[in-house]
Amino acid sequence: MNFKIKKDVLLTNLNYVSKAVSSKNVIPILSGIKLVLNKDGLHLEASDDNIIIKTFIDKDDIIEINEAGSIVVPGKYILDIIRKLPNETINIETDGLKILITTPSSEYTLNGMDSSEFPDYLLELNKKPIIFNQKVLIDIINQTSFAASLQESRPILTGINFKIKDNTLEVVATDSYRLSRKIINIDTAIDDNIDIVIPKVSLMELLKILDSEGNIELHIFNNKIVFKFDHILFQSRLLNGTFPNISTLIPEDYTLEVTSDLNELYNIIDRTSLLSDSDKNIIQMEIINNELITTCDTLQVGKVEERIIVEKNNNNNLKISFNARFMMDALKSFNSKKIQILLTNETKQFIIKDATDESLLQLIVPVRTY
Amino acid sequence: MNFKIKKDVLLTNLNYVSKAVSSKNVIPILSGIKLVLNKDGLHLEASDDNIIIKTFIDKDDIIEINEAGSIVVPGKYILDIIRKLPNETINIETDGLKILITTPSSEYTLNGMDSSEFPDYLLELNKKPIIFNQKVLIDIINQTSFAASLQESRPILTGINFKIKDNTLEVVATDSYRLSRKIINIDTAIDDNIDIVIPKVSLMELLKILDSEGNIELHIFNNKIVFKFDHILFQSRLLNGTFPNISTLIPEDYTLEVTSDLNELYNIIDRTSLLSDSDKNIIQMEIINNELITTCDTLQVGKVEERIIVEKNNNNNLKISFNARFMMDALKSFNSKKIQILLTNETKQFIIKDATDESLLQLIVPVRTY
């Protein structure tokens, strides 16, 4: 292998695949990035056995291709070296299992590994992928993923459920104490219904390399999903198991609808939680007349009472307790100025939604405090 | 106690004293901030028994003083609450040992402590303090403190030595592997020579509240130092023991003087150290003809060679090994475009200094690598 390339081009693509470089050295070869150079361009690939990322630099974006070849370079070092090199043009060549990175004033010789030892990941594609804008996927992940579970005790809840039926995509995450649901329409007509669970950790890595422009293709298989965008292929395994059926969890009736300014509500909950136990973060919320009052009383520290003016759909009053952190996470997922809270009673899960947009719903299970 | 105050005024002063609030609850009262309100204004005070910070808000900066009084408020909570309150005007009053913080929409009741239980720290002042600009002290701390030891095995080296003789202040920090020395002239004539060691941790806290404008007074006593600036008094204990006499450590002769661009040198050392063992960070530097070449060869990872053009005062060549992290710390302390390295041989400590300014000197002990 022997080629000359502009620093920025190489760095951008190393950055993409580095998100899949394994930090745990269970399989040594997976600590590397596989480079394959041929007359068409340079293929880069990395995997932590959970996700696989492949990217491609077209020959037109490479200054000189002198000799085809392939090698696995140590992921941790190559990225730092290329990032810190000041020169615009970088020479890369191999000598057996050594990789030489040179500029007029710098010379690096890194120990590489045999590319034939790198697992042979074949990334299949569908004929009819689901396509939408990258920005839409960024929003979906940001607005739902925080509600997924961090506990491995119920592995299926560490994933995010993507369900497609007809032209509707429903995305749900829940840790069983709260739930986020986003519903969007998609243009692609699909033949079969889809119901998959993508690990949250995979989507978090994907989020780091998504751009807000351009489309993304979703190629869904039985046990894996491939995202294709720009020159990038990103594959994640899927979680096995059945995601809970949430249709029964979302209350259809409620006794009180409260409309509040989003920021005002966020801020009083943030301040009220200052006095709460930092583990459980429990605060009380009371809707009384035209006021929403949040309170927290902690024996050792003291107590707080914050109030804002809200609108209601009837004269009902109500008092409820919940985890302030959950409420703040939920509120942060909305872009609107006003939100609605749909409440039933002090034990029933309640809903938060945008007053003007039905696509996003957040649900929180209250805490009993008596 | 009962007063009304603008949020920003209170927050600024709480921020100052909070740097001394004890995070370890060895003495519970020291987790608090003492407030004393009288007709002249509001005194704030905190201490972790290592440093003591006092500040004062003049009555002219307080909207209303309704009732004098004193209390100790929990430091951790009061700062967060005041920071997050949106209102411009805040009411504070006490009810026994409770402190009430109120605005039209918020009401906090915190459990306070009896101010008479707070240790009575008397902060003495000298008649003839040493005075210089805060910016000068900021530079002194930034340019020397990194060389102080983090090891408690030789406690005296965890401090920074301030020595005043005639009109000269010499500041030295060393962990015995490297040394920083800054010398400045001061205007104040002092009667007795001064030779004190201030804990680095105290100076790090002081640094957080220093401003780059205005003067600062140093009031030095046998076992403590008081810094006075703006409305703030900052006291630190001094370290007991004798700071090493460094005059014999700084070589007077050298066999080679190398002049280099500061940034170029910093960058090649930074890149060369990428391949070094991350614990010891050892790299080699060779001066040969008109080049300075840094190298690092790590069996498992690979090797690197970086080179820049330098100027020399004679034809001597030399090869030396050192801790790249120490060299980078030393180089970062200079503001100049060019620096000089004064070398003797591969085992003798070497000096880095500004080519045009003698006030700052950095010294590094090489590492033997054969």
* Chain B interface test: which of A73, A267, A274 (most B C-beta within 10 Å): A274
Instruction: Give the mean model confidence (pLDDT) for residues A177-196.
Output: 90
User: What is residue B370's predicted lDDT score, i.e. its pLDDT?
Assistant: 60
The residue behind tokens 């915190």 is B110
Q: Of A77, A99, A301, which has the smallest distance from its Cβ to B275's Cβ?
A: A77
Tell me the pLDDT band of B25, cut-offs 50, 70 and 90.
Answer: low
Rounded to the nearest angstrom, the minimum Cα separation between A25 and chain B is 14
The total number of residues shown for chain A amounts to 370
Rounded to the nearest angstrom, the minimum Cα separation between B168 and chain A is 41
d(CA A123, CA A144): 27
Helices vs strands, H then E, count in chain B? 6, 26
What is the per-residue pLDDT across A77-126, written as a single tens digit (0 to 9) for each? 999 999 999 978 999 999 999 999 999 999 999 999 999 999 998 889 99
pLDDT at B262 over 70: yes
Of A301, A305, A263, give the one whose Cα is nearest residue A283.
Answer: A305
User: What is residue A137's predicted lDDT score, i.e. its pLDDT?
Assistant: 96
Tell me the pLDDT band of B8, cut-offs 50, 70 and 90.
Answer: very high
Instruction: Give the mean model confidence (pLDDT) for residues B309-330.
Output: 97
Q: Which of residues 33 through 52 in chain B touch A, CB cutoff 8 A?
A: none
Look at phi and psi of residue A236 and say left if phi exceeds 0, alpha if psi is from -120 to 50, else beta. Answer: beta
pLDDT at B218 over 70: yes
Whole-model pTM: value is 0.93
Q: Name the DSSP class of B93.
A: E
User: What is residue B144's predicted lDDT score, i.e. its pLDDT?
Assistant: 98
DSSP secondary structure string for all residues of A283-326: EEEEEETTEEEEEEEETTTEEEEEEEE-EESSS--EEEEEEHHH
* Chain A interface test: which of B31, B106, B261, B290 (most A C-beta within 10 Å): B106
pLDDT at B355 over 90: no
Q: Which residues does A153 contact at the CB level (< 8 Å), separation at least 6?
A: none
Question: 3-class DSSP state for residue B237?
Answer: strand
pLDDT at A276 over 90: yes
Looking at beta carbons, which residues of chain A come within 8 Å of B107?
304-306
| Closest chain A residue to B275, measured at CA | A77
Supply A155's token pair: 């592995």
Question: 3-class DSSP state for residue A337?
Answer: coil
Q: Does A105 touch chain B (CB under 8 A)?
A: yes
pLDDT at B332 over 90: yes
Domains of chain B: 2-117 (3.10.150.10), 130-237 (3.10.150.10), 256-364 (3.10.150.10)
Supply A325's token pair: 């952190």
Rounded to the nearest angstrom, the minimum Cα separation between A96 and chain B is 14
Q: Of B77, B84, B305, which has the smallest distance from its Cβ to A270's Cβ?
A: B84
Tell me the pLDDT band of B187, cut-offs 50, 70 and 90.
Answer: confident
Instruction: Give the mean model confidence (pLDDT) for residues B232-243.
Output: 96
CB-CB neighbours of B223 under 10 Å: 9
d(CA A297, CA B15): 25
CB-CB neighbours of A272 under 10 Å: 25
d(CA B173, CA B161): 6
Q: Of B108, B271, B301, which has the smallest distance from its Cβ to A304's Cβ?
A: B108
Q: Does B108 touch chain A (CB under 8 A)?
A: yes
- What is the average pLDDT value for chain B, to the nearest integer? 95
Looking at beta carbons, which residues of chain B come within 8 Å of A110?
301-302
Looking at beta carbons, which residues of chain A come within 8 Å of B300?
111
Tell me the pLDDT band of A22, cut-offs 50, 70 and 90.
Answer: confident
Asked if A306 lies within 8 A of B107 by C-beta distance, the reply is yes
Q: Does B103 touch chain A (CB under 8 A)?
A: no
Q: What is the ipTM of this complex?
A: 0.91
Query: Residue B67's beta-bridge partner residues?
Result: B2
- What is the average pLDDT value for chain A, to the nearest integer? 95
Instruction: Give the mean model confidence (pLDDT) for residues A314-337.
Output: 97
pLDDT at A23 over 90: no
pLDDT at A243 over 80: yes
d(CA B194, CA B188): 13
Q: Name the DSSP class of B242.
A: P
Rounded to the nearest angstrom, the minimum Cα separation between B122 and chain A is 29
Rounded to the nearest angstrom, the minimum Cα separation between A288 and chain B is 15
DSSP secondary structure string for all residues of A43-63: EEEEE-SSEEEEEEEEGGGSS
Q: Does B77 touch chain A (CB under 8 A)?
A: yes
Asked if A274 lies within 8 A of B306 by C-beta distance, the reply is no
| Closest chain A residue to B267, measured at CA | A84
Tell me the pLDDT band of B139, cut-offs 50, 70 and 90.
Answer: very high
Least confident residue range of A29-38, A171-180, A213-222, B21-30: B21-30
d(CA B363, CA B351): 5
Looking at beta carbons, which residues of chain B come within 8 Å of A84?
267, 270-271, 274
Instruction: Give the mean model confidence (pLDDT) for residues B111-134.
Output: 93
Supply A230's token pair: 């720009």
Of B74, B146, B122, B133, give the one whose Cα is nearest residue B235.
Answer: B122
Q: Does A98 touch chain B (CB under 8 A)?
A: yes
Rounded to the nearest angstrom, the minimum Cα separation between B276 and chain A is 11
Look at phi and psi of residue A23 and say left if phi exceeds 0, alpha if psi is from -120 to 50, else beta. Answer: alpha
User: What is residue A25's predicted lDDT score, i.e. its pLDDT?
Assistant: 67
Q: Does A307 touch chain B (CB under 8 A)?
A: yes
CB-CB neighbours of A271 under 10 Å: 23
Residue A283 φ then ψ, to 5°: -130, 165
